[in-house]
Structure 1
């Protein structure tokens, strides 16, 4: 029997280990939901075929739970997915989704509300970040990060602080990888360089680190500094991170909104587009990236 030309296909989503397990799990989760909808099968019927609850199907279809190979096979049978290429790609994605995530070696120190961002950022094609108070986490030095983390968590034991610092330090590595690294567009307020974190030496070394990163990653890191004169455009009081992926048809844009205690995520197109517009406006009124090295040198002079 000929394949249904209108059936959803996962072949457009590649098997890319460097993107991380969360991206593979999320892409496959959405595909399974589309396959169920295309087959006209309700969540209750799908749940019965794997001896689970409707809530379990919901968690599977939103990528919030691990995908067991046997359960996926039964779901594919139920949805009438017989194409060997489709099933082979799905099997690859299931295996990739089961691998440990980058934050798991630091699981005791990885905040629950940060894990979705940590899991998905390696799959991003482009990351836009706005930080009004501090140097963005990807770009912090170890000593700067330790002071910031300890200030937010003054009662945490030294071992957990060290784990949180180590987790933060490894995030920059995705920009250094040889295969499909993300591009990071970071905007931060000029006041970040006047707000003392630790000693003047800590600030001096942090700014030197930013200069070195711009030299090391000229095509992967774009850093802009927003002066106070941007006015209302820079009056956002919390960090924003907007992720755009290589395969938007499988992975919609994700927005991370950091709060003092917790975080919010936005993935509806109308919401992600609104935050994209806010960040585009900030990029437009901030000092151009070409001026950043000179501005950093000026900031450096203040901490000598």
Structure 2
């Protein structure tokens, strides 16, 4: 990683600032004028090219764009994290828990390459499955709060189902994720039918790693997602790929090419050990029938 720090928070900060400006209906020169900065400065902020970020600029932009307190706190946290030589965020510290950094990466992705050993991936979850997980994760939350969180997760799924340039997804689920009961057998039957249906979309490749395949890499591997972005006219990625690792106490983002490459190798090994897409879909429907019996 370069001495100027991780590019992930700078890119995320820029993406959020650009989205806020567009939602506010402002041009870049207009926004720059309101905070008494040059248009070039704002352009560099929005493209993640600024290495020295003034917190005052972020506060003023959030005020101009009428950003919420949570969003403002999240963007200030990103600005402070951007100077680090490696980067992660721990909930409850610089970045508030309700400010989901990964969602910004996900929204800008061209392709998501994922492996999930224990649970169905968020983007592939049916509403009732999500609801049961949230009830366990937030036991004190009201029904209204749970419903809001379910709605937010379902909204994220639109990147896979939109008509124009849907995000590609290459996902492998360990059979454990299909056999581990979340909520009830009825919930599981619906979830597995949902997975089978989603796997018919042309932009989604879903495979199941059966128990009989053993451990393809020799060591167990946890949940991970590789986020790849679009390419420019020279076929170069517009942003470097990132590996996202979700942990109990915080989220880790790996962006060194060697680290990303190792995860690509791991996913390929897992994919080779998995059932092909057709056989995986048949297994999903078979287990769904077992749950419904």
Same fold (TM over 0.5): yes
- 1:271 alignment partner in structure 2: 259
Counterparts of 2:43 and 2:178, CA distance in 1: 58
Count of residues in correspondence between the two structures: 225
1:159 deviates by 2.7
Counterparts of 2:283 and 2:149, CA distance in 1: 30
Counterparts of 1:175 and 1:77, CA distance in 2: 29
Counterparts of 1:291 and 1:278, CA distance in 2: 21
Change beyond 3 A, Cα 1:122–1:76: closer
For residues 1-304 of structure 1, what are the structure 2 equivalents within 5 Å?
Answer: 61=10, 63-64=12-13, 66=17, 69-70=32-33, 71-73=37-39, 75=41, 112=97, 115-215=100-200, 217=201, 219-233=202-216, 235-247=219-231, 248-304=236-292
> Which of the pair has more CA radius of gyration?
1
Change beyond 3 A, Cα 1:302–1:185: same
1:249 deviates by 3.6
Change beyond 3 A, Cα 1:201–1:177: same
1:74 deviates by 5.2
Root-mean-square deviation (CA), in Å?
3.6
| Alpha carbons 1:211, 1:296 under 8 Å: kept | yes
1:157 deviates by 3.0
| Alpha carbons 1:238, 1:259 under 8 Å: kept | no
Unpaired stretches in structure 1, ≥5 consecutive residues: 1-42, 44-54, 79-93
1:165 deviates by 0.9
TM-score w.r.t. the length of structure 2 is 0.66
| Alpha carbons 1:132, 1:236 under 8 Å: kept | no
